[in-house]
A and B are shown apart, each in its own frame.
Chain A
Amino acid sequence: SQKIEQNSEALNIQEGKTATLTCNYTNYSPAYLQWYRQDPGRGPVFLLLIRENEKEKRKERLKVTFDTTLKQSLFHITASQPADSATYLCALGTGGFKTIFGAGTRLFVKA
C-alpha cells in the first residue's frame, strides 16, 4: 500500500545546530515533493518544493534533497533557532492535483 513515513518521535536539538528531518515513501512515484511548516492550531505554511528531476533545493537556511532511488527526502535547517520549533510536514504530489501529506515530525530547538 502507499505510505509516507516521517519520524513520529520529536526531534530535539540545540540552537545553532543543523536539524535533519526524514521523509520516506513507498509505492508512490511522486512528480514533486513539498515541505510545509505547521504551528499548533494553525494551517500549514509552504516552505520548499522539489521536483523529481532535481536533487537539491535551497532557500536561506533550508535545504531539501530528493532521492527517487532511495524514495527519500531529507530536510535540513542549518543554524537552527528556537523560532524554528514547529511540526514539519512532507507532502507528495503525483503531478495531478492531489497532495498526500505525511504525519509530520515535531522539532524542538532549545536555546
Chain B
Amino acid sequence: DTGVSQDPRHKITKRGQNVTFRCDPISEHNRLYWYRQTLGQGPEFLTYFQNEAQLEKSRLLSDRFSAERPKGSFSTLEIQRTEQGDSAMYLCASSPKGFVQYFGPGTRLTVT
C-alpha cells in the first residue's frame, strides 16, 4: 500500500491555459474526494466520488472545473481557462467505508 499519489506535484501555467491533475487513490478505496486549499485556510470541498459516480459537486466549482473517475479507480481534475484565483494546492483523498480520509501530497498550482 503506497498511499494516495497525485501527479504532478507542482504545476505552473499561464492564465487561460487548461490544466489536468491526476489522483491515484489507495487501492480498493471506493470513495474519492477533491479539495482545494489556499494559504492559511483548511481544505475546501470540491467534489466527491463513490466508485465512478460523482455524487456531489461544490457550488463553489464553476463550470470551468470538471472531475472524472472512470472505472472507479484513478481520478482527474481539469481546470479550463485558468485564472489567477485558481492558484492553490489541490488535494485528493480516498476513503474506504467510514469517515477517515487519507490524503495525497497535493498538486500545487500557480497561475501566472
Which residues of chain A have a CB within 8 Å of any CB of chain B? 4, 32, 34, 41-46, 49, 89, 91, 93, 97-104
Q: Is the CB of A99 within 8 A of B101?
A: yes
Q: Name the B residues within 8 Å of A42 (CB-CB).
A: 105-106
Q: Is the CB of B42 within 8 A of A101?
A: yes
In the assembled complex, how far is the CB of residue B56 from the closest CB belonging to chain A, in whole angstroms?
6
Partner of A97, one of B42, B55, B103, B106: B55
Partner of A34, one of B56, B100, B104, B105: B100
Indicate whether B45 reaches chain A with its CB closer than 8 angstroms. yes
Q: What size tier do the contact residues of chain B reach?
A: 20 to 34
Q: Is the CB of B42 within 8 A of A102?
A: yes
Encoded as 1 (CB less than 8 Å from any A CB) or 0, chain B from 79 to 93 comes to: 000000000000101
Q: Is the CB of A103 within 8 A of B50?
A: no
| Residue in A closest to B4 when the chains form the complex, CB atoms | A43
In the assembled complex, how far is the CB of residue A42 from the closest CB belonging to chain B, in whole angstroms?
6
A49 with B99, Cβ < 8 A, contacts A97-B31, A98-B48, A98-B56 known: yes
Partner of A93, one of B40, B50, B99, B108: B99
Q: Is the CB of B42 within 8 A of A34?
A: no
| Residue in A closest to B49 when the chains form the complex, CB atoms | A97
Given contacts A43-B93, A99-B101, 12 further A-B contacts (CB under 8 A): A41-B106, A42-B106, A43-B103, A43-B105, A46-B100, A46-B101, A91-B42, A97-B33, A97-B50, A98-B56, A99-B99, A103-B42
A34 with B43, Cβ < 8 A, contacts A43-B93, A43-B104, A43-B106 known: no
Q: Name the A residues within 8 Å of B55 (CB-CB).
A: 97
| Residue in B closest to A47 when the chains form the complex, CB atoms | B100
Q: Name the A residues within 8 Å of B108 (CB-CB).
A: 41
A101 with B99, Cβ < 8 A, contacts A42-B106, A43-B105 known: no
Q: How far is the CA of A97 from the CA of B47 in the complex (A)?
A: 10
